[in-house]
Structure 1
Amino acid sequence: MGAVGIIANPYSSKDIRRLVGSARIVADWEKVNILRRIIIGLQSTGVDELYAMNDSSHLIVRACDYPGIFIKPQFLDQLVFGNPNDTMVASKKMAEIGVKVLISLGGDGTNRMIAKGNDQHCLLPVSTGTNNVFPYDIEGTHMGLCAGLLATGAVEASECTVPSKQIIVTSDDGLHDIALVDLAISYSSYVAARAIWNVNDLYEVFLTRCEPLDLGLASVGARLHPITVNDDQGLAYKISNDGNSVRKILAPIGPGTVQEALISEWNILQLGEKLTREISRCTLAFDGERETQIINPQTIQIEIKRVGPYIVDVKKCIQLGINARCFDVN
Structure 2
Amino acid sequence: MSRRPLSVGIIANPASGRDVRRLTANAGLFSSTDKVSVIQRLLAAFGATGVEQVLMPTDTRQAARWMAQREVALIAVLGGDGTHKAVAAEVGDIPLLTLSTGTNNAFPELREATSAGLAGGLYASGRVPAAIALRRNKRLLVREPSRGLCEVALVDVAVSPLAFVGARAISRASDLAEVFVTFAEPQSIGISALCGLWLPVTRQAPHGAWMRLDPQSPEALLVPLAPGLLQGCGVLDAGYLPPDVPQPLCLSAGTLALDGEREIEFNVHDRPTVTLDGGGPLSIDVNAVLDHAARQRLLAIDRQHRQHPVNLQSQDTLENKNVDTFDH
For residues 263-293 of structure 1, what are the alpha-carbon distances to aligned partners after superposition, in whole Å with 9 as ceiling and x for unaligned?
1121111111221237554111100001122
Name the aligned partner's letter for residue 303 of structure 1: T
CA drift of 1:90 comes to 2.5
2:159–2:249 contact (8 Å) kept in structure 1: no
Name the aligned partner's letter for residue 97 of structure 2: L
2:174 corresponds to which of 188, 200, 203: 200
CA drift of 1:188 comes to 1.1
2:153 corresponds to which of 160, 170, 179: 179
1:43 corresponds to which of 38, 42, 47: 47
* Runs of at least 5 residues in structure 2 that lack an aligned partner in the other structure: 303-328
- Corresponding residue number in structure 1 for 2:112: 139
Q: Rg larger in 1 or in 2?
A: 2
- Corresponding residue number in structure 2 for 1:97: 70
Name the aligned partner's letter for residue 223 of structure 2: A
TM-score (norm 2): 0.86
Give the number of aligned pairs.
297
1:21 corresponds to which of 12, 25, 30: 25
1:279–1:298 contact (8 Å) kept in structure 2: no
Provide the C-alpha distance between the structure 2 equivalents of 1:41 and 1:197, rounded to a whole number of angstroms: 37
Report whether the alignment pairs 1:4 with 2:8: yes
Name the aligned partner's letter for residue 203 of structure 2: V
- Corresponding residue number in structure 1 for 2:97: 124
Name the aligned partner's letter for residue 30 of structure 2: V
Q: Percent identity?
A: 33
1:153 corresponds to which of 121, 126, 149: 126
Provide the C-alpha distance between the structure 2 equivalents of 1:301 and 1:244, rounded to a whole number of angstroms: 25
- Corresponding residue number in structure 1 for 2:309: none
- Corresponding residue number in structure 1 for 2:255: 283
Provide the C-alpha distance between the structure 2 equivalents of 1:17 and 1:278, rounded to a whole number of angstroms: 27
* Runs of at least 5 residues in structure 1 that lack an aligned partner in the other structure: 55-85
- Corresponding residue number in structure 2 for 1:230: 204
CA drift of 1:320 comes to 1.3
For residues 212-255 of structure 1, what are the alpha-carbon distances to aligned partners after superposition, in whole Å with 9 as ceiling and x for unaligned?
101111111012211011011111111115x134x311111111
Name the aligned partner's letter for residue 37 of structure 1: R
Provide the C-alpha distance between the structure 2 equivalents of 1:200 and 1:53, rounded to a whole number of angstroms: 40
User: SS of 1:311's equivalent?
Assistant: strand
2:236 corresponds to which of 261, 264, 278: 264
Name the aligned partner's letter for residue 308 of structure 1: G
Provide the C-alpha distance between the structure 1 equivalents of 2:284 and 2:235, rounded to a whole number of angstroms: 33
2:143 corresponds to which of 147, 170, 193: 170
TM-score (norm 1): 0.86
For residues 276-311 of structure 1, what are the alpha-carbon distances to aligned partners after superposition, in whole Å with 9 as ceiling and x for unaligned?
237554111100001122245200121101113112
RMSD: 1.6
More helix by share: 2
1:119–1:308 contact (8 Å) kept in structure 2: no
CA drift of 1:322 comes to 2.4
CA drift of 1:44 comes to 1.0
More strand by share: 1
User: SS of 2:197's equivalent?
Assistant: helix
Matches within 5 A, 1:314-329: 314-329=286-301
